[in-house]
Amino acid sequence: MTPNVYAAPAASPDANSSSPVACPRCNAAAVPRELVQQCAGCGRSFTLSAGPAMDSSVLPPHWQLAGPNINLKWSVVVTYRYAALDPGGVTYGTLDPVVGVAPIEQRGIPFGDVLTLTVWRDTGWVEPIIGILVPIPIAAFFVYTTVLAAIKGSGGGVIILALLAIAFGLAGAFMVYRGVKIGKRFARIAGRWTTFTVPFGQNTKFHEQLFRRCGLTPPPIP
C-alpha cells in the first residue's frame, strides 16, 4: 500500500458511476436499510447500508483494533485485480499481468470515508455448466458400467465403479449447488472520492470484517 492510496484524486475517476444509494444492477434509487431489500426497479435483492460518511451515528473502531489484513485476488481477462482490508481502510487495484503480485494501479477508501456498502449475489453460471457437462456425464457412465459389472457378477468391480459414480455425481451436484445457490457475491464500496466493486465469493470473513471495520453490524448476504 502506497502512502497516497487514500488521497483524494484531482478529478474523481468514478464521476459517472452509479449512485451510492442505488440498486447495484439497474441503478434505481434506494434507501439504506438494515436488512435485505428488493429493488423497486428490477425486483432483485441486495443490501444497502449507510457508512460513517453518510450516517454520523456510525463510528468505525480505532485502526489498532481492526485486526489482520484480509486480501482477495481475482483474474480479469489477462490481468489480476485485488482488494485488501487494511487497518485504515479498504484498497483496490490492478496487479501486474506477469506474476500477479506487484500493484500497477491502486486506490483506497478510509473506513471513515465510506458512504455506503452494497452487497448482492448473482448466479454463477460457469460452475453449474461445467458440473453438468463434465462430472455428471462421467457419473452416468460409471452408473452404466456398474450395472454391466453387476450383470456379469463382478463383485469387486461393482463396488469400485459404484463409488466412482457416487463421487463424480456428488462433485457435479455440489458444483451446480454452489453456482446456483451460493452464486457470485459482490460488495460495492462507495466512498467520498471513489467507488469500486469487489467480488468476494465465499469469503464471508471479508464481508463480515468490511462491515465491522466501518462500524456496522454485518447484514445477511442476499
Domain boundaries, the chain: 37-115+183-213, 126-180
Using the predicted structure, report yes or no on whether residue 120 has a pLDDT greater than 90: yes
Mean local confidence (pLDDT), 107-129: 91
Using the predicted structure, report yes or no on whether residue 48 has a pLDDT greater than 80: yes
Q: Which residues of 129-157 are buried (b: 16+ CB within 10 A; e: fewer)?
A: eebeeebbebbeebbebbeebeeeeeeee
Q: Report in angstroms the alpha-carbon separations of 126 from 129, 133, 180, 183, 187.
A: 5, 11, 10, 10, 20
- Condensed to tens digits (0 to 9), the pLDDT of residues 59-117 reads 998 876 667 889 999 887 778 899 999 888 999 999 987 777 788 889 999 999 999 99
The whole-number pLDDT of residue 115 equals 96
The whole-number pLDDT of residue 13 equals 46
Specify which residues 45 forms β-bridges with: 38
Fold assignment, 37-115+183-213: PH-domain like (2.30.29)
- Condensed to tens digits (0 to 9), the pLDDT of residues 9-18 reads 544 444 445 7
Nearest partner of 119 among 201, 14, 15, judged by Cα:
201
The whole-number pLDDT of residue 6 equals 64
Q: Report in angstroms the alpha-carbon separations of 74 from 34, 39, 143, 182.
A: 29, 28, 37, 18
Handedness of CA 141, 142, 147, 151 (dihedral sign): positive
Query: Residue 152 and residue 183: Cα distance in Å, rounded?
Result: 43
- Condensed to tens digits (0 to 9), the pLDDT of residues 156-215 reads 788 889 999 999 999 999 988 888 887 889 999 999 999 999 999 889 999 999 999 999
The whole-number pLDDT of residue 2 equals 44
The whole-number pLDDT of residue 135 equals 93
The whole-number pLDDT of residue 4 equals 60
Nearest partner of 128 among 186, 172, 184, 185, judged by Cα:
172
The whole-number pLDDT of residue 87 equals 86
Nearest partner of 184 among 160, 163, 203, judged by Cα:
203
Q: Which residue has the higher pLDDT, 124 or 58?
A: 58
The whole-number pLDDT of residue 65 equals 66
